[in-house]
Structure 1
Amino acid sequence: MDTEAEPLERDRSSAPATGTEEGSRFSRIPSRFAASTSWRRTLALGAVCAVGVLLFSSFVVQPFLIPSGSMESTLRVGDRVLVNKLAYRFGSAPRRGDVVVFDGTGSFVQEAPPEDPVAGLLHGAAASLGLAEPAETDFVKRVVGVGGDRVVCCDKRGRVEVNGRPVDEEYLFAGDPPSRAPFDIVVPDGTLWMMGDHRSNSRDSRDHLGEPGGGMVPVDRVIGRADWLGWPLGRLGTVPDTSAFDGVPAPGPAHG
């Protein structure tokens, strides 16, 4: 009796081993599926985050890479400024002294240069994150005159006058005069007169006086106000404000 039971016991002991082997084979399938699902979730989360950043950049705050020295020393080549796109969205308008980013098509650039659509899309995405230079039609300058203002250069002391009041522009690049080219203009309503802080190194409204639009930038072409410096870390902070235009009177018949 005892000897007949031994094969049965051995058979029973071998069954779990076979089941374990088969079970381990099948257990590898869920682990692979889990890994694949994890990668998909990671990619989906990355895509959602990227879309969120682009939407935030498109409608709220956009990094903007400073490509030239036209706004020195306020802004330097390679600075990343954060452009407040909500600054003028709720009834506010650009003021004298504001540093703004704008689309210069029709004022500083008569026609947008042609480009490959795919390359343009990729470049636009990179530029919107401050990782590439802005489009050739985008500029950053300071508002010197608003609609109705009479802007004249220069008075006997070489200062720009706005509505008959001389402006002490403390933000100008060291050693630069307010302008080497004389001008006397009245800014049409709904437009802005723009100038760089590094006047001898800036192509601005002065350079487009004889062109269509007369160098005036339509207010609706303003992308936003440059409010903050985000890079490099050593320059982190707000873009310096100015009180240079505080004493300028409102435009009126006597000034226009």
Structure 2
Amino acid sequence: METQEAPEDRDCSSEPEGSEARPRSSAVRGVLRDVALLAVVCAVVLFLVNMFVAQPFGIPSGSMEGTLRIGDRVIVDKAVYRFGSPQRGDVVVFDGRGSFIDDGASGSGDANGDDFVKRVIGVGGDTVTCCDSKGRLSVDGVPLDESGYLYPGDAPSQVPFSIKVPAGRLFVLGDHRSDSSDSRDHLGDPGGGFVPVDKVIGRVDWVVLPVGHWRSVDRPAAFATLASELRKGAGHGQQG
């Protein structure tokens, strides 16, 4: 008759309680640590992209309808002018302090706070005039066809003007002229309503929200035609 447990039975005693829980909890902590590290890395990358590459902006006013609608979220390319300057036809976001609002003051803006969104019509050296006998705006005497982006029913301007854009400045207008406070409204102010190039934050390249409005914001073909006509005119002037 056996009076003792078999050695193998004694050796098969269970491990101390909690021995499996410790490795499992360590694995969970490791996963959480990795997730937290990934979140930090993503936050840093997003911050750097937002600061130096691209930034989202909301459109709270109708001054750029029908190119940009109230409530649209747009992506602004902040790197595009690092090695160049804004061109005629670009839709840009800029800091309006010192041009559209008093320097040091805080305004409502029409993009975010002190920031405004408008279309570049004239660059340094241009003479922008409105309007000719056909009611068109012209740059250095060359008429600009604005039918592709001007808000339906709007005239290029109800206020006649003729200005020369200083070097390093921009003359900007909203596409919805009858609902836009732009360079025209600040012609008599200090700075003349001209936006310093170094105040430009970037170029509006995409509408991303609402999803139904998703599209690229391209420079209208009329500005390529304008540039071509201006080059021809400059060439004829040099030859003469």
TM-score, scaled to structure 1? 0.80
Aligned-partner Cα distance in 2 for 1:134–1:173: 18
Structure 1 residue 196 corresponds to structure 2 residue 196: no
Q: In the alignment, residue 105 of structure 1 is paired with which amino acid? A: R
* CA displacement at 1:112 relative to structure 2: 4.5
User: What pairs up with 1:110-149 in 2 under 5 angstroms?
Assistant: 110-113=102-105, 134-149=111-126
Structure 1 residue 75 corresponds to structure 2 residue 73: no
Aligned-partner Cα distance in 1 for 2:146–2:111: 27
SS of the aligned residue for 1:249 comes to helix
Q: Which runs of 5+ in 2 are unaligned?
A: none
1:73–1:173 CA contact under 8 A, matched in 2: yes
Partner of 2:158: 180
Equivalent position to 1:150, from 101, 104, 127: 127
Q: In the alignment, residue 58 of structure 2 is paired with which amino acid? A: L
2:97–2:105 CA contact under 8 A, matched in 1: no
Partner of 2:47: 54
Equivalent position to 1:216, from 194, 201, 207: 194
SS of the aligned residue for 1:13 comes to helix
* CA displacement at 1:216 relative to structure 2: 0.5
Structure 1 residue 66 corresponds to structure 2 residue 43: no
Structure 1 residue 249 corresponds to structure 2 residue 226: no
Partner of 1:16: 12
Aligned-partner Cα distance in 2 for 1:134–1:72: 13
Q: Does 60-69 or 212-221 show the bigger shift?
A: 60-69
SS of the aligned residue for 1:36 comes to helix
CA-atom RMSD in angstroms: 2.4
After superposition, the C-alpha distances for 1:88-115 in whole angstroms (9 at most, x for unaligned) are 222x22111111111112111223456x
Count of aligned residue pairs for this structure pair: 227
- Percent same amino acid at aligned positions? 51
1:72–1:173 CA contact under 8 A, matched in 2: yes
Moved over 4 A (4+): none
Q: In the alignment, residue 160 of structure 1 is paired with which amino acid? A: L
SS of the aligned residue for 1:25 comes to coil
Aligned-partner Cα distance in 2 for 1:95–1:136: 24
1:74–1:240 CA contact under 8 A, matched in 2: no
Q: Which runs of 5+ in 1 are unaligned?
A: 115-132
SS of the aligned residue for 1:26 comes to coil
Partner of 1:104: 96
Aligned-partner Cα distance in 2 for 1:113–1:185: 26
* CA displacement at 1:155 relative to structure 2: 1.7
Structure 1 residue 27 corresponds to structure 2 residue 20: yes
After superposition, the C-alpha distances for 1:226-255 in whole angstroms (9 at most, x for unaligned) are 122222332322214313232352698x9x
